[in-house]
Structure 1
């Protein structure tokens, strides 16, 4: 039987093989275009996953998805995360309402693992992490610190390559779940401009996006390709009035808003991103390249309502029986007691009355020595969390050929900074002199990379030459906390009287938290791949890395593909991997408000070696270690393509944020002796820990079929993922059963997307059905029976229709969630307590249907 010729000569590789310092191959768009022209049966070429020549996804020994820029844009959302969710099996994410910094940068997950277990590349180069760490409501992503891929505009992309396989032995840390490579456009002429507008069926969340791309020649031997996107998005509200707020209004408190809090998407202003990609041929054997970006956005989201009768350490310290009253002279007993009046509502239930009109309260206010925070916020308050996210990067290098060797030398740096502020809040420890708006400080993540990589083909007497690649990487990573303004963190004169320290809801970073921590590491790898006869493709990789903070690690990978026939091939891989704890996870400090059994508690996030963390079991973090096994089947026959892949990933010592550990009164003296200030004002503590082992397994099915249909051209595509995670071992002292359940069941076990793309001469249509299986739904971090349940499976439908008005001008209209499928609603008893309608966790947009229009012009 005649087998397909898979041999690639050294000359064709001269500008194709370029290996990033992180072990990644840079974009080889020129090579891919050339090969596509030669091999008409090869539709898409990928550079991730192999050190040999870029190959078609069907000839890859590991599963790879390639999504074109045009396919990404067939979506009402212009957010890169939303675009990928509908294109990649086992890729999940959703918006995070009332979720601290995760509101600014959404975490994602691939194959049931957190966002920092997937390595992200741009043009084959390692992308820096976001400065934001997902603290609250993240489930699987609790404590994760991954890159911010939402800053990458679709207009800048040629394609996205997603390697769904463990690849730490090839690419280094973070590639336990896989690798995503965003390939930038490299056109030297032409361009596009697109304007899109949409909003939710509810009439809110209006989003306007303008993006463009232009290719320019850099003499006859190079190019500069520039892309930009600008976006504004209004907030959404899926809120209901809280029971307690409604009662206060009924009792005559006119300072309470309706609704008291907004539960929904944040407001996004001045969200812009600029990407530049460039290249220049020095001669026929050397090529210069450079690319980078600058991005920024302002985000404002909501927090939970603070009840003016019972919010601990602000209004009361006995759960709303009496007001917390401060004394200017320090003697609280001189101010007397102000009880919260009780009354009966229309249903015969005992409820709070109006303390503002009670005589004890009026007497207290009349005494200049006495005060309560009701005098500033008589209706309670709902803080607003705001942030500005700035992201920038720059990489440059030279690649080419010297003799039989291909080389790539590059260097680059990336920075992501999040500057936080809190509005409409208080620092209760300052008493009535407190400001209400605070600049709370900033996180900044900086990464720099230098690499030298070489590769060649070697004749060792086999029927095909073997490919060999090796390289060296040096990388430095730093995480810096910038101090907030003094009022946001200071312990005011009334801290000793039981009033909360710092801006309430998100305490500013004080001098004890501020500072910069860094580490560096080196990596050395070797990679080889060879055809043994006409049927077998074998590969092996070995990587050694040494980190300045915790030592070294050695990982390997073996892969194989067997071509049974021209149409059918089998593939398999086995690898070990690791994920180094981030510098941010080792050193981050934060204060957050969490929900436990419906009650708001103040939780302090401390480094694992902080005295408070160490007292409750915190230890120096170690890297996660993984073992990954996978096997699959690839079938290609004409216009039909199908892959089925099974994977099994064991991770030991997974790093995550611990569950909330209560700070008990009997520990106060010991904590003070250990150096913890005001432990009585800390309800609970969490810290990062190597706390549990997991096994994640699953099946990914990707298929497509092209045919003529309805007097036009049709393409049917399927992406299905089954994911199952089990927690094999955990420490019950730091990880509770609720968190284990979120890790195991927090995302749907079954996800599927079926797409029908139909085109005629001037008209095209995309119809997409999305299936989401059952999952364990929680609100924020509340895993009690009161705040969680198993959510039902759901189906959403997306539709887009496009018409070519002229050769270059196209009008598109469409809807995401066409039939307005509702997300899982909170239980009746929790709706009014939490002030929201839907659970925070969930696989699709809780805001409902979204319709949009888009006008695109290509030139």
Structure 2
């Protein structure tokens, strides 16, 4: 099973299109040609148009979201906005909560608002390295595209306006308020080559239960199937000693589903999700409005993990529990809900808005089609399904926002805004079934033990002031200052100063300077997952723990940032405008997952070891394999486990050192200084070709460069003087390369929406520049081995959708994302079907494509949709 690129002529098409069309633009993705949309994001001024914004705002309409094919909001944003990148693949639990990043920064640096109110984060924190590590941003898969009126994306630091974590920008999702009519849509699709079968049925309806009131409700049922983009499993197929041995001992391996493509880890999980959203309001008259909105969703998702051979779970007599081996699944059962109530209206000459929002996310973690090897060997019994534990997170936010005009004798009255916010966040881990963490634990995912469990909380109180003035009619100045007090991090003050000057009706310049302060999420500070396996211990120590303190980490500090941006808006004609904005973001004390630190690894031995392998241990240590203090790590892991490390990890059956074993941990740290620089370009142009129809053109582009400016030093308890201290870096080079090079430095999207009579055609051409990651060469130690660059070469990706309105209320659409079925660059031959990838009973990666691909690893997705308006 091998997937190939079918080729594309799209580079030529884009060149011709650019040559044939004028320079088009608009301050947003699809507002009217005159930029007349009223925005509420990035300003406290009522009635400000997008075209007059002092900060870069991009708008996405409900129609644009619908034309992306896949019923997923992250995909809709990423396909339309070059500065947004969707995570293509997540390992372990992250597969079920894929995230997005804005301007190449962490998902935690983008503030998600729903109707202007803060959205709560997920309880499922990512413990991966690279740019997505530590992300616990809102799971916006529970926000239904059919419920959305439009989206406002503020691509500017806005910590002083909305909250100190809005470093990359703000995405404000505005829901529909219609009190009549609605729509039903049914979508089905699949990947061109294999898998990903998807269906979604959505319905939106608005009604007025009483006079002066509206209720708008959206429901959706969605199901998506597995995909697979791996290669054969070289452990049980091919001309190598390991495969020959397994097939001779366990011939039933050939009956395992999909043999020899038995290692199914590379691909999408299966997802079943049911969601409902509601938006409601009552108008008392005189501008006073009572409003409420909320959401509820449930997700059941399963992802394949590495396949296991029959000898992994055997009885005391050596009889396999699974004669053909097994393909374990990690599963989650997630429940997410939120509700907001508020009251707003005039207050003298100004306005007020008082609101309360509560959001909660619960993730139950499970393992299916698995077993506990040590439990089975000891008792002759093992479950095949496990409840590994639960994550839970909540957020309660209460806000008061006020505005008031002040006459200062300037060109227009000044607008003074101010407000208060009190927020409480909680995070907790609940331990799983004892069988999930007994001995070596459930195969593929060790359960969360009572040592990991805990409940944590923080409160935050903030106040802000915002003043917007126009000294002259052409000059707008907006300044904001915000003070926040955290119960665990104390006080901070941040500011923002924005200005725009219209040199003429056709040309304006604008710029911003701001600061930010992001407190670590509770998940970053308290996540704990220590895995005890038959031949090793690994996992993540909580940064705020006694074990972490023993290693000298002492908890996390807040991140601090400084943002600069400058650009211009150009309106040479009524239907033509251009915006270009450059930005510079410095983040200090960036929170990242650390390198893995070993108490010992394989044949690496702790201080004072004596035994038959002692001479080999001394040689390895002298050769700088370990350049930090092993004893500190060993003791910290023992502390995390309640005082000791199980003897079966340390000793083999002869009482000697277990040379296959290891003790290794990571933790979240303030690891680096990172600088992000780039340029955003947005454009839109509407043309009318008479009898040949109309075409709405759009062009958006982003240049983005991330650079690690410095890495924090090792804490004193870890430091040991060696000749090559670079090998003991706090952040490993693989994560650093991903931080700098996994986001395309240049991305552009050219769109054309043609409409004539009952027909419409949407075309979108996206360009992604080259990205790459770094891997250790197979068969070598990651501390010593040679490195291999794994690239995803530059590519053009074409999306298309054709719609026919067969009846006035009914339309039929067919379309494709990645129309020409383009795949990322295949990994090199040394990383595919390589016998060196095989070690004992473990199947190593047989994936063909780099998971950092900015356009995914699944190739083309083809779909159909029927929509009925009423």
Q: Counterparts of 1:672 and 1:630 in 2: how far apart (Å)?
A: 45
Kindly state the Cα deviation for residue 611 of structure 1 after the two structures are TM-superposed.
4.0
Q: Counterparts of 2:819 and 2:792 in 1: how far apart (Å)?
A: 21
The equivalent position to 2:300 in structure 1, one of 298, 301, 306, is 298
Alpha-carbon spacing, 1:729–1:63, altered in 2? closer, same or farther (3 Å): same
Asked if structure 2 preserves the Cα contact closer than 8 Å seen for 1:394 and 1:413, the reply is: yes
Instruction: Report the equivalent of 2:193.
Output: 202
Instruction: Say yes or no: does 1:630 pair with 2:611.
Output: no
Instruction: Report the equivalent of 1:555.
Output: 494
> Structure 2 regions of 5+ residues with no counterpart?
1-30, 238-242, 607-630, 650-660, 713-727, 838-844
Show CA shifts across 1:400-430 (max 9, x none). Answer: 0121231011111001111110123333332
Instruction: Say yes or no: does 1:86 pair with 2:79.
Output: yes
Q: Counterparts of 1:40 and 1:222 in 2: how far apart (Å)?
A: 32
Kindly state the Cα deviation for residue 781 of structure 1 after the two structures are TM-superposed.
13
Asked if structure 2 preserves the Cα contact closer than 8 Å seen for 1:201 and 1:851, the reply is: yes
> Structure 1 regions of 5+ residues with no counterpart?
1-35, 316-324, 326-364, 492-499, 595-599
Q: TM-score, normalised by structure 2?
A: 0.83
1:270-289 residue pairs with structure 2 within 5 A?
Answer: 270-289=272-291
Q: Counterparts of 1:706 and 1:133 in 2: how far apart (Å)?
A: 43
Instruction: Report the equivalent of 2:645.
Output: 678
Asked if structure 1 preserves the Cα contact closer than 8 Å seen for 2:427 and 2:523, the reply is: yes
Kindly state the Cα deviation for residue 682 of structure 1 after the two structures are TM-superposed.
5.5
Asked if structure 2 preserves the Cα contact closer than 8 Å seen for 1:562 and 1:570, the reply is: yes
Q: Counterparts of 1:203 and 1:535 in 2: how far apart (Å)?
A: 57
Instruction: Report the equivalent of 2:792.
Output: 791
The equivalent position to 2:350 in structure 1, one of 405, 410, 424, is 405
- Secondary structure of the equivalent of 1:76? coil
Asked if structure 2 preserves the Cα contact closer than 8 Å seen for 1:44 and 1:57, the reply is: yes
Asked if structure 1 preserves the Cα contact closer than 8 Å seen for 2:33 and 2:576, the reply is: no
1:150-161 residue pairs with structure 2 within 5 A?
Answer: 150-161=141-152
Alpha-carbon spacing, 1:787–1:267, altered in 2? closer, same or farther (3 Å): same
Instruction: Say yes or no: does 1:774 pair with 2:770.
Output: yes
Instruction: Say yes or no: does 1:130 pair with 2:122.
Output: yes
Q: Counterparts of 1:855 and 1:434 in 2: how far apart (Å)?
A: 48
Instruction: Report the equivalent of 1:654.
Output: 590
User: Alpha carbon RMSD of aligned pairs, Å?
Assistant: 2.3
Instruction: Report the equivalent of 1:853.
Output: 864
Asked if structure 2 preserves the Cα contact closer than 8 Å seen for 1:409 and 1:451, the reply is: yes
Q: How many residues align?
A: 749
Show CA shifts across 1:797-820 (max 9, x none). Answer: 011010111111111111111111
Q: Counterparts of 2:536 and 2:151 in 1: how far apart (Å)?
A: 42
Alpha-carbon spacing, 1:785–1:92, altered in 2? closer, same or farther (3 Å): farther
Alpha-carbon spacing, 1:92–1:131, altered in 2? closer, same or farther (3 Å): same
Q: Counterparts of 1:670 and 1:826 in 2: how far apart (Å)?
A: 39
- Secondary structure of the equivalent of 1:765? strand
Instruction: Report the equivalent of 1:510.
Output: 449
Instruction: Say yes or no: does 1:527 pair with 2:466.
Output: yes
Kindly state the Cα deviation for residue 297 of structure 1 after the two structures are TM-superposed.
1.2
Instruction: Report the equivalent of 2:359.
Output: 414
Asked if structure 1 preserves the Cα contact closer than 8 Å seen for 2:33 and 2:574, the reply is: no
Q: Counterparts of 1:765 and 1:397 in 2: how far apart (Å)?
A: 41
Q: Counterparts of 2:292 and 2:554 in 1: how far apart (Å)?
A: 41
- Secondary structure of the equivalent of 2:252? coil
Instruction: Report the equivalent of 2:678.
Output: 698
Kindly state the Cα deviation for residue 379 of structure 1 after the two structures are TM-superposed.
4.6
Asked if structure 1 preserves the Cα contact closer than 8 Å seen for 2:775 and 2:787, the reply is: no
Instruction: Report the equivalent of 1:542.
Output: 481
Kindly state the Cα deviation for residue 578 of structure 1 after the two structures are TM-superposed.
1.2
Asked if structure 2 preserves the Cα contact closer than 8 Å seen for 1:100 and 1:135, the reply is: no
Asked if structure 2 preserves the Cα contact closer than 8 Å seen for 1:604 and 1:682, the reply is: no
1:64-75 residue pairs with structure 2 within 5 A?
Answer: 64-75=57-68
Q: Counterparts of 1:228 and 1:601 in 2: how far apart (Å)?
A: 46
Alpha-carbon spacing, 1:46–1:558, altered in 2? closer, same or farther (3 Å): same
Instruction: Say yes or no: does 1:227 pair with 2:218.
Output: yes
Kindly state the Cα deviation for residue 230 of structure 1 after the two structures are TM-superposed.
0.9
The equivalent position to 1:429 in structure 2, one of 374, 397, 417, is 374
Q: Counterparts of 1:165 and 1:781 in 2: how far apart (Å)?
A: 40
Show CA shifts across 1:700-722 (max 9, x none). Answer: 11111111137211111111111
1:3-402 residue pairs with structure 2 within 5 A?
Answer: 41-96=34-89, 99-136=91-128, 139-246=130-237, 247-248=243-244, 250-251=247-248, 253-256=250-253, 257=256, 258=259, 259-307=261-309, 370-371=316-317, 375-402=320-347
Alpha-carbon spacing, 1:611–1:676, altered in 2? closer, same or farther (3 Å): farther
Kindly state the Cα deviation for residue 255 of structure 1 after the two structures are TM-superposed.
3.4
Alpha-carbon spacing, 1:751–1:438, altered in 2? closer, same or farther (3 Å): same
- Secondary structure of the equivalent of 1:244? coil
Kindly state the Cα deviation for residue 771 of structure 1 after the two structures are TM-superposed.
0.7
Instruction: Report the equivalent of 2:504.
Output: 565
Alpha-carbon spacing, 1:670–1:149, altered in 2? closer, same or farther (3 Å): closer
- Secondary structure of the equivalent of 1:465? strand
Alpha-carbon spacing, 1:779–1:299, altered in 2? closer, same or farther (3 Å): farther
Kindly state the Cα deviation for residue 203 of structure 1 after the two structures are TM-superposed.
3.9
Instruction: Report the equivalent of 1:482.
Output: 430
Q: Which moved more, 1:708-717 or 1:809-818?
A: 708-717
Asked if structure 2 preserves the Cα contact closer than 8 Å seen for 1:268 and 1:297, the reply is: no
Asked if structure 1 preserves the Cα contact closer than 8 Å seen for 2:371 and 2:443, the reply is: yes
Q: Counterparts of 1:63 and 1:677 in 2: how far apart (Å)?
A: 55
- Secondary structure of the equivalent of 1:50? coil
Show CA shifts across 1:635-669 (max 9, x none). Answer: 12211121111000000001121122223242386
Asked if structure 2 preserves the Cα contact closer than 8 Å seen for 1:166 and 1:628, the reply is: yes
The equivalent position to 2:747 in structure 1, one of 732, 747, 751, is 751
Asked if structure 1 preserves the Cα contact closer than 8 Å seen for 2:777 and 2:786, the reply is: no
